[in-house]
Each structure stands twice: as structure tokens, then as C-alpha cells.
Amino acid sequence: MRVSTQQSYNSMSNSFTEMSDDLQHVITQMATGQRIILPSDDPIAATRITQLDRQQSAIEQYQSNISSVSSSMSQQESVLDGVNNSMLAIRDDLLEAANGTNTTDSLASLGQEIESLTQSMMAALNYQDEDGHYIFGGTVNDTPPITYEDTDGDGNGDEYVYNGNMEHRTATVSSGVEIDTNVSVGEIFGQGLDVFNTLDDLSTELQDPNLDPSDPQVLDDISHSIDVIDEASESLNSAIASLGERQNTMSMLNDAQTGISDSNSELIGQLGDLDYGPASITFTGLEMAMEATMKTYSKVSELSLFSVI
């Protein structure tokens, strides 16, 4: 069977095109450092890398959530620690007020300090984050959780009112794991805010210029306030501890996810990174083959019937 010059040309042209494509593929591999440029290069490894990449993206999102939640919880802990310090200061004032040696003026002074500390606690518990959200109102974050309202209609504020709920915001911090991201004033102190209204009433009582320091009712009210604040402090400390425990849980999850991510990165490298030694050999071989093909074609193209007469 005779092979025409056109057939020879087509055959060598096709061969050259294939080698050129192969050479470009190797060049891309060497430029990117990636063995798998197309899924067809290694379908099994390509599928596994895709799965690992998805897991890496999920871990990245989980760790971003953990970072955000941890920052919020640190803010909450800091605020609640400040509230706790104010409560301890008020308790000291109450113990001083209960010692039985106070005058009307000294009780009034203690009443003023208790009022000031109570107001500072209210301001702290109405704390807003950098986005302007109130963080202690449960899932109600667009309204101050605590307001001082006129409940008897005389035109003056007389009672602290809670405007939030006791629900929790949540965040996904690992596969199938959600964590509560906040504590609320309602769950710590009760929706009636008994401790703050008790302190408010007592501070008003102690500042009454007609107060009789020897009145047994005064000492009973002070004693009752101490009991109420002790109960509130216990609940507050429990909430602070809860935030700390959740932060510890997230820290452990974050460390575990970092370990998984590092292992995934190593495996992705093993599956997809290019071995430059064999790639260089392939590159050189393709260059030589293309050069030989070009020389062969050049020789063949010079042949004709007249060249052999």
C-alpha cells in the first residue's frame, strides 16, 4: 500500500499536535507545581482532592465562627466580671449599713453609692457590640435589655424592666456541633430583675431624710437585700463559668480542626503535588520527540519522484 505525501503530512502533523499538547500540559504542571491539571490526569486522586478541599473550606468556616464567637464571649465575660465587682462592692456597702451604728446621713451616703453602682450595672448590661447589637437580651438585640420605667403613672421612673428573652443565639463550630453564644440578663437575674429593683428600692429608702436608723424594718430590708444579692451573685458567677467552659470547648475543637486541616493539607500535597524529577524527564523527552518529528517531516517533504531519477 502506497502512502501519499499528504497522508504522511497529516500523520506527522497529528503526532506533532499531540506532542505539543502534551508538552504544554507538562509546562503547566511545572509552572503550577500541580500534578493534576485536569480530572482525567488521575480521576481517583482528583475526586479525593475535591473532597478534601470541601472539608478544608468547612473547617475554615468553623474556625472563623469560633473566632467570632470567642471574641463575643470574651466581651460578655469582661462585662459580667465588671457587674460582679459592682455587686461585691454593693454587698460591702450593705454589710456596713447593717452594722447598727449608722446615722441618717451615713445611710444616705451608702444609699447614694448603692444607687450609683446599680445604675452602672444597668449601663453595663445594656452593652452593645461593634455592630450596635445588645448582647444580653437573648435573641432580642435591637432593644436595650433593661429600661427604667414609670410603672405607677406618676411620671417618674420607678422600676427596672427586662425587654429581652431567655433564648440563645447559636453558631456551628464543628460538623454537627452547635454552641450557645450568649447569656441573657433574664436567665441570670430573672425576668423580673428582682435584685436590681430590690437595690433600687433600698437605695431610695436609705436616702430618705426622715429615715430612722434604729427602725427594725430598715435592718430587715438591708438583710433581705444581702440575701437577694447573694443569690444573684451565685447565678452571675454560674453564667461567667458557663461562658468559660464554652470557650474551653471551642478552643479544643479549634485545636482538633487545626490538626485535621494540617493532615488534609499534607494529603492534598501527596496526591496533587508534582514530582519535578519525572516531569523534567518527560519534558525533555517530548522536546526531543518534537524535534525529531520536525526533522523527519522536513526530510520527507523534500522527497519527490524527480529527486530519485
User: Rounded distance, CA 68 to CA 130, Å?
Assistant: 12
* CATH number of the domain encompassing residue 122: 1.20.1330.10
Task: Establish if 21 belongs to a structural domain.
Answer: no
Report yes or no: 8 and 300 within 8 Å, Cβ to Cβ: yes
Task: Establish if 294 belongs to a structural domain.
Answer: no
Report yes or no: 77 and 243 within 8 Å, Cβ to Cβ: yes
Q: Which contiguous run of DSSP H or E holds residue 262?
A: helix 216-272
Task: Establish if 194 belongs to a structural domain.
Answer: yes
Question: pLDDT value at position 1?
Answer: 45
pLDDT band (50, 70, 90) for residue 189: very high
Output the average pLDDT for the chain.
85
- Three-point CA angle 108, 114, 115, nearest 5°: 90
To which residue does cell 462585662 refer?
Answer: 79
Task: Establish if 146 belongs to a structural domain.
Answer: yes
Question: pLDDT value at position 29?
Answer: 65
Percent of the chain having pLDDT more than 90?
Answer: 63
User: Rounded distance, CA 63 to CA 69, Å?
Assistant: 10
Task: Establish if 208 belongs to a structural domain.
Answer: yes
Total number of domains in the chain: 1
Question: pLDDT value at position 156?
Answer: 83
Question: pLDDT value at position 22?
Answer: 60
Provide the domain limits for residue 109.
69-242
Contacts of 220 (CB under 8 A, 6+ apart): none
Task: Establish if 187 belongs to a structural domain.
Answer: yes
54-59 contact pairs (CB < 8 A, 24+)? 55/260, 55/264, 56/261, 56/264, 56/265, 56/268, 58/175, 59/257, 59/260, 59/261, 59/264
User: Beta-strand (E) ranges in the chain?
Assistant: 146-149, 159-162, 170-174, 177-180
Task: Establish if 219 belongs to a structural domain.
Answer: yes
Question: pLDDT value at position 64?
Answer: 95
Question: pLDDT value at position 306?
Answer: 46
- Cell numbers representing residue 18 in the block: 499531540
Task: Establish if 94 belongs to a structural domain.
Answer: yes
